[in-house]
Amino acid sequence: MNDHGNGKDSQEVRAFAPATIANLGAGFDVLGLALEQPGDIVIAGRHSDGPPGITLEIRGDGGRLPLEPEQNTAGVAAMHLLRRFDSGASIHLKLIKGIPMAGGLGSSAGSAVAAAVAVNALFGARLRKEELVEACVAAEGVVSGFHADNVAAALLGGIIMVEEGGRQVRRLPVPGKLVCALAMPAVHLPTAVARKVLPREYPLHDVVTQTSNLAMLMSALYENDVERFAAGMVDVVAEPARSRLIPGFDAAKRAALDAGALGFIISGAGPSVCAICNRMRVARRAAEAMREAFIKAGVACSGLVARPSEQGAHVIEPGSKKSEEARWDRSPLATPPPPDHFGYSSR
Protein backbone atom coordinates (compact mmCIF):
# COMPACT_ATOMS: atom_id res chain seq x y z
CA MET A 1 0.00 0.00 0.00
CA ASN A 2 1.31 3.44 -0.80
CA ASP A 3 1.12 6.54 1.39
CA HIS A 4 -2.30 7.46 0.03
CA GLY A 5 -3.87 4.03 0.31
CA ASN A 6 -5.80 2.27 -2.44
CA GLY A 7 -9.17 3.89 -1.85
CA LYS A 8 -10.52 0.75 -0.13
CA ASP A 9 -10.93 -0.04 3.55
CA SER A 10 -8.27 -2.39 4.97
CA GLN A 11 -8.31 -4.76 7.94
CA GLU A 12 -4.80 -3.91 9.23
CA VAL A 13 -2.40 -1.07 8.46
CA ARG A 14 1.04 -0.17 9.81
CA ALA A 15 2.31 3.40 9.84
CA PHE A 16 5.60 5.01 10.80
CA ALA A 17 6.00 8.55 12.15
CA PRO A 18 9.45 10.11 12.61
CA ALA A 19 10.96 11.95 15.53
CA THR A 20 11.02 15.72 15.18
CA ILE A 21 12.97 18.75 16.34
CA ALA A 22 10.68 21.64 17.23
CA ASN A 23 11.66 25.32 17.30
CA LEU A 24 14.99 24.94 15.45
CA GLY A 25 16.44 27.49 17.85
CA ALA A 26 15.05 30.88 16.85
CA GLY A 27 11.73 29.54 15.53
CA PHE A 28 10.04 29.02 18.91
CA ASP A 29 6.66 27.27 18.44
CA VAL A 30 6.84 28.10 14.72
CA LEU A 31 9.33 25.73 13.06
CA GLY A 32 9.77 21.97 13.07
CA LEU A 33 12.03 19.41 11.37
CA ALA A 34 11.41 15.70 10.76
CA LEU A 35 14.25 13.21 11.19
CA GLU A 36 14.76 9.94 9.34
CA GLN A 37 15.09 8.14 12.69
CA PRO A 38 14.01 7.20 15.30
CA GLY A 39 10.25 6.89 15.01
CA ASP A 40 7.03 5.39 16.35
CA ILE A 41 4.98 2.69 14.66
CA VAL A 42 1.26 2.11 15.03
CA ILE A 43 -0.44 -1.06 13.80
CA ALA A 44 -4.16 -0.39 13.42
CA GLY A 45 -6.56 -3.30 13.04
CA ARG A 46 -10.28 -3.27 12.34
CA HIS A 47 -12.46 -5.97 13.89
CA SER A 48 -15.94 -6.66 12.58
CA ASP A 49 -17.11 -8.40 15.76
CA GLY A 50 -15.51 -6.13 18.38
CA PRO A 51 -17.14 -3.45 20.54
CA PRO A 52 -17.28 0.07 19.06
CA GLY A 53 -14.35 2.35 19.84
CA ILE A 54 -10.59 2.18 20.34
CA THR A 55 -8.49 -0.30 22.30
CA LEU A 56 -4.78 0.19 22.81
CA GLU A 57 -1.64 -1.77 23.64
CA ILE A 58 1.88 -0.37 23.87
CA ARG A 59 5.41 -1.74 23.51
CA GLY A 60 8.65 0.04 24.32
CA ASP A 61 7.31 2.62 26.78
CA GLY A 62 8.59 1.00 29.98
CA GLY A 63 5.03 0.87 31.28
CA ARG A 64 4.74 4.64 31.58
CA LEU A 65 2.12 5.58 29.01
CA PRO A 66 -1.61 5.28 29.74
CA LEU A 67 -3.55 2.55 27.99
CA GLU A 68 -6.81 4.49 28.16
CA PRO A 69 -7.32 5.82 24.59
CA GLU A 70 -8.68 9.16 25.79
CA GLN A 71 -5.46 9.80 27.75
CA ASN A 72 -2.98 8.69 25.08
CA THR A 73 -2.15 10.81 22.05
CA ALA A 74 -2.40 7.82 19.70
CA GLY A 75 -5.84 7.00 21.07
CA VAL A 76 -7.09 10.59 20.93
CA ALA A 77 -5.98 11.04 17.31
CA ALA A 78 -7.63 7.75 16.36
CA MET A 79 -10.88 8.64 18.13
CA HIS A 80 -10.93 12.00 16.39
CA LEU A 81 -10.81 10.29 12.99
CA LEU A 82 -13.16 7.49 14.00
CA ARG A 83 -15.88 10.04 14.78
CA ARG A 84 -15.44 11.33 11.24
CA PHE A 85 -15.27 7.98 9.45
CA ASP A 86 -17.34 5.45 11.38
CA SER A 87 -18.07 5.93 15.09
CA GLY A 88 -19.36 2.36 15.33
CA ALA A 89 -16.14 0.71 14.16
CA SER A 90 -13.97 -1.41 16.45
CA ILE A 91 -10.29 -0.45 16.13
CA HIS A 92 -7.32 -1.92 17.98
CA LEU A 93 -4.07 0.05 18.04
CA LYS A 94 -0.66 -1.41 18.78
CA LEU A 95 1.77 1.41 19.51
CA ILE A 96 5.47 0.57 19.26
CA LYS A 97 7.51 3.36 20.83
CA GLY A 98 10.81 4.19 19.21
CA ILE A 99 10.99 7.88 20.12
CA PRO A 100 12.28 8.51 23.67
CA MET A 101 9.59 9.96 25.92
CA ALA A 102 10.04 13.42 27.45
CA GLY A 103 13.24 13.74 25.45
CA GLY A 104 12.45 16.74 23.24
CA LEU A 105 12.10 14.68 20.05
CA GLY A 106 8.33 14.87 19.59
CA SER A 107 7.40 11.58 21.26
CA SER A 108 3.75 12.39 21.91
CA ALA A 109 3.42 13.87 18.42
CA GLY A 110 4.95 10.76 16.86
CA SER A 111 2.39 8.53 18.54
CA ALA A 112 -0.49 10.73 17.43
CA VAL A 113 0.74 11.02 13.86
CA ALA A 114 1.44 7.32 13.41
CA ALA A 115 -2.05 6.51 14.71
CA ALA A 116 -3.72 9.11 12.50
CA VAL A 117 -1.93 7.90 9.36
CA ALA A 118 -2.70 4.25 10.16
CA VAL A 119 -6.39 4.82 10.89
CA ASN A 120 -6.80 7.06 7.86
CA ALA A 121 -5.28 4.35 5.66
CA LEU A 122 -7.47 1.74 7.37
CA PHE A 123 -10.49 3.63 6.00
CA GLY A 124 -9.13 4.02 2.50
CA ALA A 125 -6.96 7.13 3.02
CA ARG A 126 -9.91 9.50 2.68
CA LEU A 127 -7.95 12.47 4.02
CA ARG A 128 -4.76 14.12 2.80
CA LYS A 129 -1.89 14.44 5.26
CA GLU A 130 -2.61 18.14 5.73
CA GLU A 131 -6.14 17.24 6.81
CA LEU A 132 -4.78 15.03 9.61
CA VAL A 133 -3.08 17.93 11.38
CA GLU A 134 -6.24 18.89 13.27
CA ALA A 135 -6.66 15.42 14.82
CA CYS A 136 -2.99 15.29 15.81
CA VAL A 137 -2.99 18.76 17.35
CA ALA A 138 -6.06 17.79 19.38
CA ALA A 139 -4.16 14.73 20.59
CA GLU A 140 -1.09 16.82 21.52
CA GLY A 141 -3.37 19.02 23.59
CA VAL A 142 -3.92 16.10 25.97
CA VAL A 143 -0.30 16.09 27.16
CA SER A 144 1.65 19.17 26.07
CA GLY A 145 -0.65 21.88 24.77
CA PHE A 146 -2.08 22.67 21.37
CA HIS A 147 1.06 23.08 19.27
CA ALA A 148 1.39 22.08 15.62
CA ASP A 149 5.16 22.29 15.13
CA ASN A 150 5.98 18.67 16.01
CA VAL A 151 2.88 17.03 14.54
CA ALA A 152 3.06 18.95 11.26
CA ALA A 153 6.73 18.11 10.81
CA ALA A 154 6.13 14.43 11.56
CA LEU A 155 3.19 14.29 9.16
CA LEU A 156 4.58 16.25 6.23
CA GLY A 157 8.32 15.68 6.62
CA GLY A 158 11.13 18.14 5.94
CA ILE A 159 11.01 21.55 7.61
CA ILE A 160 7.63 23.13 8.31
CA MET A 161 6.44 26.55 9.43
CA VAL A 162 3.29 27.02 11.49
CA GLU A 163 1.20 30.04 10.53
CA GLU A 164 -1.83 31.80 12.03
CA GLY A 165 -1.48 30.18 15.43
CA GLY A 166 -1.41 26.68 13.97
CA ARG A 167 -4.32 27.02 11.54
CA GLN A 168 -1.98 26.87 8.54
CA VAL A 169 1.18 24.86 7.90
CA ARG A 170 3.72 25.48 5.15
CA ARG A 171 6.60 23.29 3.91
CA LEU A 172 9.98 25.01 3.65
CA PRO A 173 13.11 24.00 1.69
CA VAL A 174 15.61 21.70 3.39
CA PRO A 175 19.34 22.41 2.89
CA GLY A 176 20.81 19.53 0.93
CA LYS A 177 23.86 19.03 3.14
CA LEU A 178 22.06 19.19 6.49
CA VAL A 179 22.97 16.44 8.98
CA CYS A 180 21.80 16.46 12.61
CA ALA A 181 23.90 15.09 15.47
CA LEU A 182 21.86 14.50 18.59
CA ALA A 183 22.74 13.77 22.18
CA MET A 184 20.05 12.46 24.52
CA PRO A 185 21.09 12.94 28.14
CA ALA A 186 19.25 10.93 30.78
CA VAL A 187 17.38 13.87 32.24
CA HIS A 188 13.62 13.72 32.80
CA LEU A 189 12.29 17.03 31.48
CA PRO A 190 8.57 17.17 30.59
CA THR A 191 7.50 19.91 28.21
CA ALA A 192 5.28 21.48 30.87
CA VAL A 193 8.27 21.95 33.18
CA ALA A 194 10.40 23.41 30.39
CA ARG A 195 7.65 25.92 29.59
CA LYS A 196 7.24 27.06 33.18
CA VAL A 197 10.82 28.33 33.38
CA LEU A 198 10.41 30.71 30.45
CA PRO A 199 10.24 34.42 31.38
CA ARG A 200 6.95 36.23 30.91
CA GLU A 201 8.66 39.32 29.51
CA TYR A 202 11.78 39.87 27.39
CA PRO A 203 13.99 42.91 26.78
CA LEU A 204 13.42 44.60 23.44
CA HIS A 205 17.02 43.86 22.47
CA ASP A 206 16.40 40.10 22.82
CA VAL A 207 13.23 40.32 20.75
CA VAL A 208 15.07 42.14 17.96
CA THR A 209 17.95 39.64 18.09
CA GLN A 210 15.60 36.67 17.92
CA THR A 211 13.69 38.20 15.02
CA SER A 212 16.92 38.90 13.15
CA ASN A 213 18.13 35.35 13.72
CA LEU A 214 14.85 33.88 12.49
CA ALA A 215 14.99 36.03 9.36
CA MET A 216 18.54 34.80 8.68
CA LEU A 217 17.47 31.19 9.22
CA MET A 218 14.52 31.50 6.83
CA SER A 219 16.49 33.17 4.06
CA ALA A 220 19.23 30.54 4.40
CA LEU A 221 16.69 27.77 3.70
CA TYR A 222 15.80 29.32 0.37
CA GLU A 223 19.49 29.79 -0.43
CA ASN A 224 20.37 26.17 0.46
CA ASP A 225 23.00 27.54 2.85
CA VAL A 226 23.60 25.27 5.85
CA GLU A 227 26.17 27.61 7.41
CA ARG A 228 23.79 30.61 7.54
CA PHE A 229 20.96 28.30 8.57
CA ALA A 230 22.99 27.23 11.61
CA ALA A 231 24.02 30.81 12.39
CA GLY A 232 20.38 31.90 12.36
CA MET A 233 19.32 29.21 14.84
CA VAL A 234 20.82 31.04 17.84
CA ASP A 235 18.06 31.22 20.45
CA VAL A 236 18.09 34.08 22.98
CA VAL A 237 14.48 33.48 24.11
CA ALA A 238 14.16 29.91 25.40
CA GLU A 239 17.69 28.51 25.54
CA PRO A 240 19.05 30.72 28.38
CA ALA A 241 16.30 29.52 30.73
CA ARG A 242 15.99 25.93 29.58
CA SER A 243 19.70 25.18 29.38
CA ARG A 244 19.87 25.43 33.18
CA LEU A 245 17.57 22.40 33.38
CA ILE A 246 20.06 20.25 31.43
CA PRO A 247 23.17 19.29 33.43
CA GLY A 248 26.26 19.32 31.22
CA PHE A 249 24.65 21.57 28.59
CA ASP A 250 27.47 24.11 28.33
CA ALA A 251 30.14 21.42 28.10
CA ALA A 252 28.20 19.56 25.41
CA LYS A 253 27.76 22.74 23.40
CA ARG A 254 31.47 23.53 23.51
CA ALA A 255 32.32 19.95 22.58
CA ALA A 256 30.01 19.97 19.56
CA LEU A 257 31.33 23.25 18.20
CA ASP A 258 34.94 22.20 18.82
CA ALA A 259 34.21 19.02 16.86
CA GLY A 260 33.23 21.09 13.83
CA ALA A 261 29.47 21.55 14.23
CA LEU A 262 28.09 24.71 12.67
CA GLY A 263 25.45 25.34 15.31
CA PHE A 264 23.93 23.95 18.48
CA ILE A 265 20.35 24.03 19.79
CA ILE A 266 18.05 22.42 22.32
CA SER A 267 15.76 19.97 20.55
CA GLY A 268 12.23 21.09 21.32
CA ALA A 269 11.85 21.57 25.05
CA GLY A 270 14.86 19.34 25.77
CA PRO A 271 16.71 17.61 27.27
CA SER A 272 17.99 16.34 23.90
CA VAL A 273 20.33 18.68 22.08
CA CYS A 274 21.18 18.93 18.40
CA ALA A 275 24.37 19.95 16.61
CA ILE A 276 23.91 21.20 13.05
CA CYS A 277 26.47 19.82 10.61
CA ASN A 278 27.11 19.72 6.87
CA ARG A 279 28.98 16.42 6.68
CA MET A 280 28.17 13.00 8.08
CA ARG A 281 31.68 12.44 9.47
CA VAL A 282 31.53 15.78 11.30
CA ALA A 283 28.11 14.88 12.69
CA ARG A 284 29.36 11.55 14.01
CA ARG A 285 32.33 13.28 15.63
CA ALA A 286 30.04 15.90 17.19
CA ALA A 287 27.59 13.30 18.48
CA GLU A 288 30.37 11.37 20.19
CA ALA A 289 31.88 14.57 21.62
CA MET A 290 28.53 15.62 23.09
CA ARG A 291 27.89 12.16 24.52
CA GLU A 292 31.30 12.13 26.20
CA ALA A 293 30.76 15.65 27.57
CA PHE A 294 27.50 14.66 29.23
CA ILE A 295 29.04 11.51 30.66
CA LYS A 296 31.92 13.54 32.11
CA ALA A 297 29.30 15.78 33.71
CA GLY A 298 27.83 12.72 35.42
CA VAL A 299 24.86 12.28 33.07
CA ALA A 300 24.24 9.07 31.11
CA CYS A 301 23.77 9.84 27.44
CA SER A 302 23.02 8.25 24.07
CA GLY A 303 23.96 9.67 20.67
CA LEU A 304 22.34 9.63 17.28
CA VAL A 305 23.11 10.93 13.79
CA ALA A 306 20.23 11.48 11.37
CA ARG A 307 19.39 13.30 8.18
CA PRO A 308 16.07 15.11 7.70
CA SER A 309 13.13 13.00 6.57
CA GLU A 310 11.57 14.48 3.45
CA GLN A 311 8.88 11.80 3.44
CA GLY A 312 7.50 12.21 6.94
CA ALA A 313 4.90 9.78 8.22
CA HIS A 314 3.90 6.97 5.91
CA VAL A 315 2.27 3.57 5.66
CA ILE A 316 4.74 0.70 5.76
CA GLU A 317 4.40 -2.72 4.23
CA PRO A 318 4.48 -5.83 6.45
CA GLY A 319 7.90 -7.45 6.17
CA SER A 320 9.75 -4.18 5.60
CA LYS A 321 12.63 -3.31 7.93
CA LYS A 322 10.35 -0.93 9.85
CA SER A 323 7.36 -3.24 10.09
CA GLU A 324 8.00 -4.83 13.47
CA GLU A 325 9.81 -2.17 15.46
CA ALA A 326 10.68 1.48 15.38
CA ARG A 327 14.23 0.87 14.28
CA TRP A 328 17.35 2.83 15.08
CA ASP A 329 20.50 2.98 13.00
CA ARG A 330 22.55 0.28 14.71
CA SER A 331 25.79 2.26 14.67
CA PRO A 332 27.57 2.78 18.03
CA LEU A 333 26.28 6.36 18.11
CA ALA A 334 22.69 5.33 17.64
CA THR A 335 22.12 2.90 20.49
CA PRO A 336 18.61 3.42 21.83
CA PRO A 337 18.35 4.46 25.47
CA PRO A 338 17.12 1.84 27.95
CA PRO A 339 13.44 2.01 29.04
CA ASP A 340 14.32 4.01 32.17
CA HIS A 341 16.69 6.38 30.32
CA PHE A 342 14.46 9.38 31.03
CA GLY A 343 13.44 8.31 34.50
CA TYR A 344 10.71 5.78 33.68
CA SER A 345 10.27 2.48 35.49
CA SER A 346 9.78 -0.77 33.64
CA ARG A 347 6.37 -2.40 33.43
Closest CA to 172 of 229, 234, 213, 131: 229
**Comparing C-alpha atoms, which of 55, 106, 101, 50 is closest to residue 78?**
55
Task: Name the residue type at position 99.
Answer: I
Q: How many CA atoms lie within 13 A of 134 on its CB side?
A: 8
Nearest to 122, CA basis, from 270, 6, 9, 17: 9
Tell me which H or E stretch contains 293.
Answer: helix 280-296
0.85 exceeded by pTM: yes
Point out the catalytic residue in the list 140, 292, 317, 324: 140
Q: Please, are residues 179 and 33 in contact by the beta-carbon 8 Å criterion?
A: no
- 25-32 mean pLDDT: 95
Exposed, middle or buried by CB within 10 Å (0-12, 13-18, 19+), for 309? buried
Q: What pLDDT does 142 receive?
A: 85
Domain borders along the chain are 12-173+309-327, 179-306
User: What digits encode the pLDDT tens for the residues 61-78?
Assistant: 888 898 999 999 999 999
The pairing of strands 90-96 and 53-59 is: parallel
Residue type, 238: A
Q: Is 179-306 in CATH node 3.30.70.890?
A: yes
- What is the C-alpha to C-alpha distance for residues 99 and 81, in angstroms, rounded to an integer? 23
| Cα–Cα distance for residue pair 49/306, rounded to 1 Å | 43
Sort 8 into a burial class: Cβ within 10 Å, 0-12 / 13-18 / 19+. exposed
- Which residues 6+ apart lie within 8 Å of 165 measured at CB? none
DSSP 336: P
73 is catalytic: no
Given 20, 73, 191, 288, the catalytic residue: 191
According to DSSP, residue 189 is labeled -
The CATH classification number of 12-173+309-327 equals 3.30.230.10
Q: How confident is the model at residue 107 (pLDDT cuts 50, 70, 90)?
A: very high
Q: What is the pLDDT of residue 166?
A: 63
What is the pLDDT at residue 320?
A: 63
Question: For residues 225 and 216, is the Cβ–Cβ distance under 8 A?
Answer: no
Instruction: For 250-275, write each residue's pLDDT tens digit.
Output: 999 999 999 999 999 999 999 999 99
* Residue 140 designated active-site: yes
Q: Write the pLDDT tens digit of every residue in 272-326.
A: 999 999 999 999 999 999 999 999 999 999 999 999 999 999 999 876 665 444 4
Cβ within 8 Å of residue 81, ≥6 positions away: 116, 119, 120, 123, 127, 132, 135
Paired strand residues for 315: 15
What is the rounded distance in angstroms from the CA atom of residue 217 to the CA atom of residue 172? Answer: 11
**Which of 149, 104, 28, 36 shows the shortest CA–CA distance to 272?**
104
